[in-house]
Structure 1
């Protein structure tokens, strides 16, 4: 761990990515507000790539607690260097880093060596054990690729076009118009007995700021009430390695999970206190048990 901010570029064309880490709300206050910035390309990489020399991408990431009175960057190392990666908040509060390249920069024909393996980042783990490399794709997805969270917890991945026009033949990385669904490890069949299913509220329920919300769910296997959380994820839209509108809130449950019988349970949570935490609009709501999220339901935050 390095407590410094290495002055390497992470914006276009040295394109890294960033997310606001999950906001945990306790008694109407966020416990901390932290930003995670990952990857990029070193100084001079854009000029070098235009001259046919493709520098290796950055393997560092920075995390900063912007709610501190004197915020400081904490720099660490990723298992895979990456430029042009996409970062998504998963329903269990982990961060997915997917797509991109390990050399060059963003722009026409300027990236090399696609990174096929996504990684997940667990913010609450100890330093040195926060990353897990996931199963690789077979499709290079570099400049102009994209990723978005789906309601069932999968991630829809698509695109890739490092050319000024659509080019499908006789190039290093042809234009890619396909879509594929990536399943994080929490969707492994070995975890199916731990996966919750929301019974109520019904989808499209309206939720008002600061009000208590009872969530009933079913789990086929044994439940640890201390390992149940409820999260809300705002729908994001992604381009050029950044997901606009993205945020995840961990709602205050006060350890209220209770068994109702027949493998059903109820947890009572408090909705976000104001639009400062969750602007009005549609969100996906998930029950998470032992870091395994349920399929989400749509809810609408309103005054």
Structure 2
């Protein structure tokens, strides 16, 4: 960067810096529906007005004060934004995993501390927001968190000891976990069938149009190394299929007829969604979601966002196993930034295949 550029100061990163490990690299950043940015680094979070370079709000430190960012790499998602009468009902963030204080220094000495097994959830739209802590089925550092079309959260990849960085992680966690935000505390996590491939540092995961998750990568070395190392460089890809793709759910799975793919959609507009599904549909069991495609690095999926569209308009049967559902699109680019989205119809928590639409 040239010296004559006017680079704004951002003291929050200095305040969250650990001189021994930093623990504030790759911060978790989400666009709040009012246009400000929620930023989480190390163990703290703020709401930031980037246009004025001003901190609007400071949130409580996550309970326990343990670091959640690189190299104590946890992950985070903005939980689904549910639209009601043109507004977002609530805005919540979920932060999971990481490594305890001192783990980076210890790992460089060959001592691999156990990862964190906690998640912190905070309703950042509350006037006085507080963290609520939950315990995962297993500890995890370098896990990837991905929003599924039905609003559940997949936690996949990572290790249960050490930290992020070259050669610094141990004990891969092979079993993914699905977190169901709307269930009661204590029953939100479900362990999934394990992979056989360790996915450690520099692994990745991305949602596919058909509802599967493409998982790939893993390289804990500063070069590609395929032999004579604990975790060889992994170039393979595999697809994880959530339980909603089980064959016994096929009768509940919708198929979208309208809108057609690549339809351009404006803000605050009504959109007619037509779909087919076997059997009788209870309108209260149907939702329409839009998922922004994510791009992933260091266990954080940037641009990730899921919006549950307002479906208050009456639905109706328009033919044999064919239904119409009228939804209202988000009101602005602060709720749904302009660009491409995967639109899904979800019936009894089972999503259709997505179709690409464009918000503009």
The Cα offsets for residues 177-221 of structure 1, whole Å up to 9 and x where unpaired, read as 000010001100010000000001100001110010000000023
Residue in structure 1 matched with residue 352 of structure 2 by the alignment: 294
Residue in structure 2 matched with residue 85 of structure 1 by the alignment: 143
2: distance between equivalents of 1:255 and 1:122? 26
Structure 1 unaligned regions, length at least 5 = none
Residue in structure 2 matched with residue 187 of structure 1 by the alignment: 245
2: distance between equivalents of 1:148 and 1:221? 32
SS at match of 1:192: helix
The Cα offsets for residues 207-260 of structure 1, whole Å up to 9 and x where unpaired, read as 110010000000023322210000000010011000010100000001622211
User: Is residue 203 of structure 2 the alignment partner of residue 107 of structure 1?
Assistant: no
SS at match of 2:250: helix
Residue in structure 2 matched with residue 219 of structure 1 by the alignment: 277
Provide closer, same or farther for how the CA distance between residues 220 and 122 of structure 1 changes in structure 2, counting only shifts above 3 A.
Answer: same
2: distance between equivalents of 1:107 and 1:262? 56
TM-fit CA distance, 1:4: 6.5
Structure 2 unaligned regions, length at least 5 = 1-60
2: distance between equivalents of 1:166 and 1:254? 53
SS at match of 2:184: coil
Runs of 4+ in 1 over 6 A off after TM superposition: none
TM-fit CA distance, 1:5: 1.5
Residue in structure 1 matched with residue 155 of structure 2 by the alignment: 97
State how many pairs are aligned: 300
2: distance between equivalents of 1:282 and 1:5? 37
Larger RCO, structure (CA 8 Å, separation 6 or more): 1
Q: TM-score scaled to structure 1, two decimals?
A: 0.98
2: distance between equivalents of 1:5 and 1:53? 25
Residue in structure 2 matched with residue 238 of structure 1 by the alignment: 296
User: Is residue 67 of structure 2 the alignment partner of residue 36 of structure 1?
Assistant: no
> Residues 225 and 255 of structure 1 are in contact (CA less than 8 Å); yes or no, is this contact kept in structure 2?
no
Deviates more, 1:64-73 or 1:218-227: 218-227
Q: TM-score scaled to structure 2, two decimals?
A: 0.82
Residue in structure 1 matched with residue 319 of structure 2 by the alignment: 261
User: Is residue 197 of structure 2 the alignment partner of residue 152 of structure 1?
Assistant: no
2: distance between equivalents of 1:50 and 1:4? 26
The Cα offsets for residues 11-56 of structure 1, whole Å up to 9 and x where unpaired, read as 0100000000000010111010000000000111111111111111
